[in-house]
Structure 1
Amino acid sequence: MESQHLRPGHLTAHQTAYVLGIGLDAVRQLVRRGQLQRSGGSPRQPWYAAADVYALASKRAAAKAA
């Protein structure tokens, strides 16, 4: 179930996983490693800043291309 009160400029965990091309467990691992930070929501339905997610996606794409 997606959060119905998502703030503009934020993505749900499912949306974040989709943008990064990974699963939800991998999103949790990124948070644990400090590569991505929650910016709201609840522990069960976290939000992530869209700018952070897209920056991480670009960084990961650049690393793959190198």
Structure 2
Amino acid sequence: MEYQLPPIGTLTTSLAAMSAGVAPATIRDWVRRGLLTRCGGTPKRPLYRVTDVETARNAAKPTRNNQRTVKAA
């Protein structure tokens, strides 16, 4: 069951996908690639900050010839 109303400033996976104009699978892929981090929720119902979703949406996307690399902290 989805949250009826997530906390202010956060989005569920499906709401984040609608906000960014992508599929929910893309949101999960951004998390896997380290472009987006969860800010709460549960393992099956994560929450994301609105600003983090916008940052991930505007991040440079990889190409086949020049794949983006994630820098280690």
Q: Distance in 1 between matches of 2:25 and 2:55?
A: 20
% identical aligned pairs: 39
Unmatched segments (≥5 aa) in structure 1? none
Q: Distance in 2 between matches of 1:22 and 1:6?
A: 19
TM-score by length of 2: 0.70
Q: Distance in 2 between matches of 1:25 and 1:33?
A: 12
C-alpha spacing 1:47/1:6, structure 2 compared with 1 (3 Å): same
Q: What RMSD over aligned residues (CA atoms) do the two structures have, in Å?
A: 1.9
Q: Distance in 1 between matches of 2:54 and 2:26?
A: 16
What are the equivalent positions in structure 2 for 1:1-66 lying under 5 Å apart? 1-4=1-4, 6-57=6-57, 59-60=58-59
C-alpha spacing 1:21/1:5, structure 2 compared with 1 (3 Å): closer
Count of residues in Structure 1 that have an aligned counterpart in Structure 2: 61
TM-score by length of 1: 0.76
User: CA deviation digits over 1:5-50, x for unaligned, max 9?
Assistant: 6221101100101111111111111000000000000111110001
Unmatched segments (≥5 aa) in structure 2? 62-73
Which has a greater percent of helix? 1
Q: Which of these two proteins has the greater Rg computed from alpha carbons?
A: 2
Q: Distance in 2 between matches of 1:23 and 1:37?
A: 17
Which one scores higher on RCO, CA 8 angstroms, separation ≥ 6?
A: 1
